[in-house]
Amino acid sequence: MTRLKRRFQAPGTSPGTLRAPEQPRAEKVTIKVFEYGPDSMEEKAPASIEEALPRGDSSTVTWINVNGLHDVTLLQKLGDHFSLHALALEDVLNTGQRPKLEDYDEHYFIVMKEIRWQGSLETEQISLFVGRRWVITLQEFPGDPFEPVRERIRKGKGRIRKIGADYLAYALIDALVDGYFPLLEKLGERIEEMEEELVGHPTQQTLHEIHRLKRELLLLRRSAWPQREVINALQREESHLVKRETRVYLRDCYDHTIQIMDMIETYRDLAAGMLDVYLSSVSNRMNEIMKVLTIMASIFIPLTCLPGLHGMNFDTPPSPWNMPELKWYWGYPAVLGGMLAVGILMVIYFRRKDWL
Highest-scoring range by mean pLDDT, 252-261, 273-282, 329-338:
252-261
pLDDT at 177: 92
Average pLDDT for the chain: 80
Q: Percentage of residues in the chain with pLDDT exceeding 70?
A: 83
Q: Please count the residues of the chain.
A: 356
| Average pLDDT of the segment spanning 23-51 | 79
pLDDT at 13: 43
Q: What is the pTM of this model?
A: 0.73
| Cα–Cα distance, 198 to 274 (Å, whole number) | 8
Domains (range + CATH), the chain: 1-172 (3.30.460.20), 294-352 (1.20.58)
User: Which of 44-58, 95-109, 171-185 is predicted least confidently?
Assistant: 44-58
pLDDT at 12: 41
Q: What is the pLDDT of residues 183-225, one digit of tens each?
A: 899 888 888 888 888 877 777 888 888 888 888 899 889 888 8
pLDDT at 21: 52
DSSP string of 105-172? SS-EEEEEEEEEESSSEEEEEEEEEE-SSEEEEEESSS--TTHHHHHHHHHT-TTTTTS-HHHHHHHH
Q: Where is pLDDT greater, at 256 or 119?
A: 256
- pLDDT band for position 356 (50/70/90)? low
- pLDDT band for position 18 (50/70/90)? low
| Average pLDDT of the segment spanning 279-301 | 77
**1 pLDDT exceeds 50?**
no
Between helix 244-310 and helix 180-199 the angle, nearest 10°, is 10
Q: What is the pLDDT of residues 98-132, one digit of tens each?
A: 899 998 888 899 999 988 887 778 888 999 999 88
**309 pLDDT exceeds 70?**
no
The set of residues, in sequence order, having a beta carbon less than 8 Å from that of 267 and lying 6+ positions away, is 184, 187, 188, 191, 213, 217
Q: How far is CA 170 from the centre of its chain?
A: 24
Q: Where is pLDDT greater, at 300 or 233?
A: 233
**24 pLDDT exceeds 60?**
no
Q: Percentage of residues in the chain with pLDDT exceeding 90?
A: 15
∠325-330-333 over CA atoms, to 5°?
A: 105
